[in-house]
Amino acid sequence: MLTGGPLDVLTGDYLAELTLLILGRDRRKDPALGYAKTFPRQLEECLGLAVDRGVRIVTNAGGLNPAALADEVRTLAARLGVPVRVAHVEGGTPADGPWGRGALTADAYLGGAGIAACLRAGADIVVTGRVTDAALVTGPAAAHFGWDPDDPDDLDALAGAVVAGHVLECGTQATGGNYAFFTDAAARTRPGPRPRPGLRPGFPLAEIRSDGSSVVTKHPGTGGRVDIGTVTAQLLYETGGARYAGPDVTARLDSVRLEPDGPDRVRISGVRGEPPPPSLKVGVTRVGGWRNEVVLVLTGLDIEAKAALVKAQMEEALDAGAGRPAEVRWELSRTDRADADTEERASAYLRLVVRDRDPVRAGRAIGSAAVELALGSYPGFHATAPPGDAAPYGVFTAHYVDASAVTHTAVLPDGTRTVLPHPARTRPLAPAPPPPLPPLPPPGPTRRAPLGLVAGARSGDKGGDANIGVWVRSDAAWPWLVHTLTTDRLRALLPETAPLAVDRAVLPNLRAVNFTVYGILGEGVAARARFDPQAKALGEWLRSRWLDIPEALLPDGAPDPDPDPDSDPDPDPDSDPDPGPDSDPDP
């Protein structure tokens, strides 16, 4: 980014829910730690270049101990002989909260005001702890343009910067990384010069204007692409309803407008802002218990019978000895093929996961029980790895406290400590009113095909919940998507979601619907309760499901109909012609 072209501010987002748990364990071992140790090593390579080019650096790599990282950066700069002004932002743990005993970390998500104060005071590098991902962009923008969260005239501009920050926060996901339509030849061969060196997408950047509108682009000559689709995909990532709340402002995602602005350029405009909620989110991590896993390989014939035999044998062992673990989960993955030409392609995997608060009940006895069956179970018995001891797993939960319980402090380059007030104008968060839906599409011939032939998706985690954002790329497909992909249809297509609460948000400007699936990830990514613990591929599973799609929407060369349509749980369209928004508990 420093060598690719013009840049005013370089941001670095180092914190995720799982990262905070790791940093908490580091700090428990050594109180001087608690920050991202990779950041100083990376900074050593480019600090002189950043200073020479006048690029300021803003990062949340401070984690749980931003003051310690700021000191390390000063030490590094002195050793390199690079004069640099370093500031940091402190927020930290509220004095009291509802998270109970045993919390490893408890940190409030702060906004960009502290970053703005540091930059206005002349900082070259600003180190923060747990701020919102978008704050790394709203802080520099507010410092540059003089925006104030308590000025009603600045709310839309701040909200626009929040949206730009959300697009940038996951790096190359905005420039073609993890993109649903990565095989789309038409999208890869648009007219005009399209340099694509290498296979790795370049990093995105945002040109932000005084009204909060922005253009998302990338430096010339870098890989990947920026277009409406790649930006839409990232906008839908890890969001919920139409109101995207933050400490500085609540951005209305249903007001976002995207339009092309030239090759690899997308303009974001029209974003409306509302006062932020009076509470702050506090991310709490703790050690939840102990976990162990055994993966058994089943090869060749009689896969189901082999699985039933060893499962019954293992269940008998689990009930004996130290006692049955509190949670026992089995999953048979039929990766095997008939008449396979390699042994691995002839094999399926039976996965056993146990969890318990007692390390003995989840410990080596689980693996030992499997080993003891090695000569007395199904033919071809073996496991993917030797048995091991139980390992601790973490839990992430989100709580909310009144903003007044948290002190937001900017420590300026000269050491001055400035306490930043929280926005005085707030508004309790409530669901946005449902937008009007387009008319039902006219009837016509349909064909059973995968949803992904006409719709893209991006999914991710928020604690134990997951979101799935689904969008289409044409106005013609939008009425079909919004009337077809209701919460009831989602539950039918993804049976894992059937017993769970699901909300749907409708975003007409993006031709998108965004689902929040509550509790599908259990206690969050660190607990690893699910095969895909961060729901990264949940959207791709949805895109692979078959349903009746109007032939007019299908691309040329679409596959033949599903050979076994009765296997698809898609509801009978005659019994549910138009569930509509009323079927959603929170449209």
Tokens in use for 135? 């704050």
For residue 93, give the nearest of 288, 287, 285 by alpha carbon: 285
- Predicted local distance difference test score (pLDDT) of residue 198: 60
**Which of 24-33, 273-282, 530-539, 571-580 is least confident?**
571-580
SS3 call for 397:
strand
**Which of 174-178, 385-389, 439-443 is least confident?**
385-389
Tokens in use for 478? 């939008």
Instruction: Give the model confidence (pLDDT) of 25-83 as tens digits.
Output: 899 999 999 999 999 999 999 999 999 999 999 999 999 999 999 999 999 999 999 99
- Rounded average pLDDT over 136-162: 97
For β-strands 125-129 and 86-90, DSSP reports them as parallel
Interior CA angle at 495 toward 490 and 500, to 5°?
75
Q: How far apart are the first and last CA of the chain?
A: 40
109 versus 559: the higher-pLDDT residue is: 109
- Predicted local distance difference test score (pLDDT) of residue 192: 39
- Rounded average pLDDT over 549-555: 95
Strand-pairing partners, residue 547, are: 449
- Rounded average pLDDT over 197-206: 85
- Predicted local distance difference test score (pLDDT) of residue 8: 98
Look at the block and give the residue holding tokens 């410092």.
143
- Domains of the chain, by residue range, sit at 151-275, 284-395, 446-583
- Predicted local distance difference test score (pLDDT) of residue 104: 87
Q: How many CB atoms lie within 10 A of CB 501?
A: 14
- Predicted local distance difference test score (pLDDT) of residue 532: 87
Phi, psi of 151 (to 5 degrees): -95, 115
Residue 234 clears pLDDT 50, i.e. is over it: yes
CB 565 within 8 A of CB 573: no
Chain-centre distance for alpha carbon 218: 22
- Predicted local distance difference test score (pLDDT) of residue 574: 37
Look at the block and give the residue holding tokens 């003891």.
372
For residue 469, give the nearest of 242, 295, 267 by alpha carbon: 242
Question: Given pLDDT bands bounded at 50, 70 and 90, which one contains residue 271?
Answer: very high
- Predicted local distance difference test score (pLDDT) of residue 526: 67
CB 354 within 8 A of CB 487: no
- Predicted local distance difference test score (pLDDT) of residue 557: 73
- Predicted local distance difference test score (pLDDT) of residue 100: 66
C-alpha 34/C-alpha 439 separation (Å) is 54
Question: Given pLDDT bands bounded at 50, 70 and 90, which one contains residue 581?
Answer: very low
- Rounded average pLDDT over 498-520: 97
CATH fold for the domain made of 284-395: Alpha-Beta Plaits (3.30.70)
CB 273 within 8 A of CB 152: no
- Predicted local distance difference test score (pLDDT) of residue 363: 85
Question: Given pLDDT bands bounded at 50, 70 and 90, which one contains residue 564?
Answer: low
pTM of the entire predicted model: 0.90
C-alpha 28/C-alpha 23 separation (Å) is 9
Residue 467 clears pLDDT 90, i.e. is over it: yes
Mean pLDDT over each residue of the chain, to the nearest integer: 90
Question: Given pLDDT bands bounded at 50, 70 and 90, which one contains residue 302?
Answer: very high
- Rounded average pLDDT over 472-492: 97
Question: Given pLDDT bands bounded at 50, 70 and 90, which one contains residue 566?
Answer: very low
For residue 550, give the nearest of 414, 440, 387, 411 by alpha carbon: 440
- Predicted local distance difference test score (pLDDT) of residue 562: 57
Residue 128 clears pLDDT 90, i.e. is over it: yes
Strand-pairing partners, residue 442, are: none
SS3 call for 445:
coil
For β-strands 417-420 and 266-269, DSSP reports them as unpaired
- Predicted local distance difference test score (pLDDT) of residue 582: 35
Look at the block and give the residue holding tokens 């005085």.
424
Q: What is the dihedral of CA 72, 78, 81, 84, to 10 degrees?
A: 70
Alpha helices, H only, 333-425? 364-372
**Which of 215-229, 537-551, 572-586 is least confident?**
572-586
SS3 call for 560:
coil
C-alpha 52/C-alpha 274 separation (Å) is 39
Tokens in use for 567? 């296997």
- Predicted local distance difference test score (pLDDT) of residue 381: 95
Question: Given pLDDT bands bounded at 50, 70 and 90, which one contains residue 356?
Answer: very high
Tell me the HSE value of 151 on the side-chain side, using a 13 A CA sphere. Answer: 10
- Predicted local distance difference test score (pLDDT) of residue 96: 65
Amino acid at 524: G
462 versus 418: the higher-pLDDT residue is: 418
C-alpha 335/C-alpha 337 separation (Å) is 7
- Predicted local distance difference test score (pLDDT) of residue 396: 87
Tokens in use for 399? 């709580």
Phi, psi of 576 (to 5 degrees): -150, 65
- Predicted local distance difference test score (pLDDT) of residue 559: 74
C-alpha 33/C-alpha 566 separation (Å) is 56
CA distances from 584 to 252, 469, 482, 580 (A): 20, 15, 12, 8
- Rounded average pLDDT over 488-500: 97
Q: State percent of the chain over pLDDT 90.
A: 76
